Amino acid sequence: MPETEPTSRADVRIRTARRDEASDVLEFWHVAAEGTSITDDVEGVARLLGRDPDSLLLAEDAEGRLLGSVIAGFDGWRCHLYRLAVHPAARRRGVARALLAAAEERFVSLGGRRGDAMVLQGNAPAHAVWRAAGYAPQQEWRRWVRPLP
């Protein structure tokens, strides 16, 4: 994905992550993201980028400081959004909105029809962000998981 011009809401540039940034992204998530996942390790991030190099979008300021991230994964059928995270010092400046706009642009270019987001039920601040971006919980579905060996 090419870099975008800074938005009017925030001086933010969106770009795709590189494989050599996996450790930096993980450190960022420890500061900016709620909760952890069994895939939160260098190998998991590298595997994601090896399979889909354009899936991890990063927002940075004019000096190159990491402000936010979102994973915009497309499997050919569904558009999945994970790990929307904004640094606490950069919140309420349009960073999440810029990341979601870039993710949605990616999905449309790939033929995607609907984005779905994984949002922790207990993360009320995240609910407000997702609602403001036009997303809503889909009450008739519940995520079922099983960790693999």
Please give the pLDDT value at position 10.
55
Burial class of 128 by CB neighbour count within 10 A (0 to 12, 13 to 18, 19+): exposed
Residue 147 lies in a domain: no
The per-residue pLDDT for 147 is: 79
Which domain, by its residues, includes 126?
13-132
> Per-residue pLDDT tens for 102-125?
999 999 999 999 999 988 888 888
Number of domains in the chain: 1
Residue 37 resides in a domain: yes
| Domain membership flag for residue 31 | yes
The domain that holds 48 is classified in CATH as 3.40.630.30
Q: What is the mean pLDDT of residues 81-94?
A: 95
Tokens of 104: 């949605």
In a domain, 65, yes or no: yes
**d(C-alpha 130, C-alpha 121), whole Å:** 12
Q: Which has the minimum average pLDDT: 28-32, 34-38, 62-66, 74-78? A: 34-38
Q: Is the pLDDT of residue 6 over 70?
A: no
